[in-house]
Structure 1
Amino acid sequence: MQEFQIIRMKDFSIHQIDKIQRLEYLCKTSDRSSLRVGIESLKEIGGDEAYLCQIENQLVGFLSWYTSDGIEANINGMVHPDFRRKGVFIGLLKQALSDMQLQGIQSCRFRIPSNSESGLDTIRHLGASLTTSEFSMILNRLQRDASCRTDMVLRLENDQDLEFMVRCSSQAFGDTESWTRNYFARTREPERITYVAKDNMIPVGMIRVNYVQMDHAVIHDFCVLPSCQGSGYGRAILSELVKLLLDQKCSKIRLGVVTENRRALNLYQSVGFEVSAESHYYVISTSRISKWLK
């Protein structure tokens, strides 16, 4: 009987990354899904935690996770089509869960492509609950007339902006100010840039960019103060940022939006983004996973 070997990823060479990319492509084409396991976030310093399952030097499974708040882990994973239902996913999850619990992680959030039957079957068997669905969107072509406010300025954040950022984000997304403050502290990284939008020197919104690669930018934490919404600020902020990223020669610009947020979806499409994939997010506590794995 063939034996699997599960190891924590420590080799971030081009050769190792290429193995993961090939497995992702194989799973994606075999399942006819829009699988994306966040390969761009695999790096030696500041990257996601990752685990590999190998058999006779062949990569047959992968799982990675990261946390933005120290409480919930965001998880991506895949298993070679020929090695499913053989304990690969369970082995990877056991190893990851052990490390998560040492760091105080209380729940896991799995991202599953909406068109991946194998992924959906696995997560339902695990007993996780569907919480949200999200469209991934990628910039197709900037609509040059997208910005409709000439009185707004988008500038880099400074230390004095933190209180506004906490207030704006917590009011827009419904999180507590304490959670939001902790989130910003944990996600302050060199490759993650924050911009604050001002109108006549008064802050009205914010937007962040994660440069996962030199030419690949992910837009997130985009919000406008509720009291300022409906005045065209959202469209102006997004348009100005996209222009800036294009000037920086970013060839891939993407963002995500909850499927139920049709207002935001229409805004993004009007600026030039198009839907590239849909994902479902399932959540389960680490204590329930531990019981399931026994």
Structure 2
Amino acid sequence: MVIKEFNSLNTELVREIEKLTETCGKFDGIQEEVNLDDGFNFNKSMKWLFVLYEKDKVVSVVSIFAPKEEEGEISACTLPEYRRKGYFKELLSKAKNELLKYNVPKILFVCPKGSKQGEAVIKNSDAIYKFAEYTMNFNKNKFKAKGKYITKLAEANYNDLNKITKVASDVYSESYEQANSMMKNALESSDRLQFKLKLKEDYIGVVAAYFYHDKVSIFGVGILPEYRGRGFGREMMSMLLEYLIERDYDDIALEVDSNNKRAFELYKSIGFQIEREIDYYEEKINNTFYSY
């Protein structure tokens, strides 16, 4: 058994982990995903991927997604024949210790609905249920372009950084520094596009797209509070979808909090439909070194 820790990816490692999750998904009868996004964690020095090998074969993986200092999302996968050997616990202990180095106080376990393995992990932990998200996939046949818009959507660049940071800070209820870090990450990323929404000369919204192979994930959707309820969110999403369709992207998805009924109904009305449900469980990290 060999454990390796990473803060960046290479093509071979991505391919091995994708093969691992595909095998697990078929065995468990659910869609398994492990975060492989290496460009959005709040600290680029942090190790965020922990991989366990048996005879040069990837058999277990734990990943951290931590765009904010408050918490790190934990996603994981272990090949069926290597389960019940303590591999996940070993990797999780290393992930917790890494988060402690950066003063991250808690983790969020990502557990797809119906995952017996995930439910077993939660049962044997101190984690408590926090919320659920729907992953929604886009059906182009159900989308009708509006055609005429009051607002304008465009790709953001560094000249927009201060203004989109202010919008993001208000939209996400974050400090200017936190929002600025997230906007910088998006602008500097090679696989993301950050967009700005303007009403005449005013910046009123932000949204971003993450590109992975031929797939697109929409995230960071937000309209300033004083401009909500006027159809601008629908305009922003419609213009973004038109942008992606024009560039031949068909596999488009997003995630929405199951309690956010307003956003959920908006996404449904423009062609998104529920693909799966993901539960999130929170566990505080004790300020002690973890070892299993």
- Report TM bin, short chain: 0.7 to 0.9
Question: Which residue number in structure 1 is paired with residue 29 of structure 2?
Answer: 32
Partner of 1:133: 132
Amino acid of the structure 2 residue aligned with 1:33 = I
For 1:206, the equivalent position in structure 2 comes to: 206
1:22 aligned partner: 19
Q: Does 1:281 align with 2:266?
A: no
Q: Is the 8 A contact 1:218 1:254 kept in 2?
A: yes
Aligned 8 A contact 2:137 2:272 in 1: yes
TM-score by length of 1: 0.85
Cα deviation per residue 1:44-66 (whole Å; 9 max; x = unaligned)? xx798322212233332111113
**2:133–2:255 CA contact under 8 A, matched in 1:** yes
Match of 1:73 in 2: 72
For 2:17, the aligned partner's letter is: I
State the Cα deviation string for residues 196-251 of structure 1 (Å, max 9, x = none): 112233322221112233x3222111111111111111111101011111222223
User: What is the rounded CA distance, in whole Å, between the counterparts of 2:33 and 2:245 in structure 1?
Assistant: 24
TM-score by length of structure 2 reads 0.85
Q: Distance in 1 between matches of 2:274 and 2:260?
A: 13
Call closer, same or farther: CA 1:42–1:21 in 2, change over 3 Å.
farther
CA 1:206/1:17 → structure 2, altered by over 3 Å: closer, same or farther?
Answer: closer
Contact 2:132 2:280 in 1 (8 A): yes
1:1-294 paired onto structure 2 within 5 Å? 4-9=1-6, 12-14=10-12, 16-39=13-36, 41=37, 49-141=48-140, 143-147=142-146, 149-159=148-158, 161-190=160-189, 191-213=191-213, 215-287=214-286, 290=289, 293=291
Is the 8 Å Cα contact of residues 72 and 106 (structure 1) preserved in structure 2?
yes
Mapped partners of 2:280, 2:228: distance in 1: 27
- Residue type at the aligned position of 1:25: E
Cα deviations by residue, 1:73-102 (Å, 9 ceiling, x for unpaired): 222111122222211011111222333333
Query: How far does residue 164 in structure 1 lie from its aligned partner after superposition?
Result: 3.9
What 5-or-longer segments of structure 2 have no aligned partner? none
**Matched position secondary structure for 2:188:** coil
CA distance in 2, matches of 1:140, 1:48: 37
Deviation digits for residues 234-286 of structure 1 (CA, Å, limit 9, x no counterpart): 11110101111122222321111001112111111111111111111122233
RMSD of aligned Cα (Å): 2.7
How far apart, CA to CA, are the structure 2 residues paired with 1:124 and 1:148?
50
Q: Is the 8 A contact 1:154 1:198 kept in 2?
A: yes
Q: Which runs of 5+ in 1 are unaligned?
A: none
Q: Percent identity?
A: 22
Distance 1:142 1:170, change over 3 A: farther
Shift of 1:128: 1.5
Aligned length: 285
C-alpha change, 1:101 and 1:139, in structure 2 (3 Å) is: same
CA contact (8 A) 1:208 1:220 kept: yes
Flag the 1:144–1:21 CA change in 2: closer, same or farther, 3 A: closer
Distance 1:289 1:37 in 2: 26
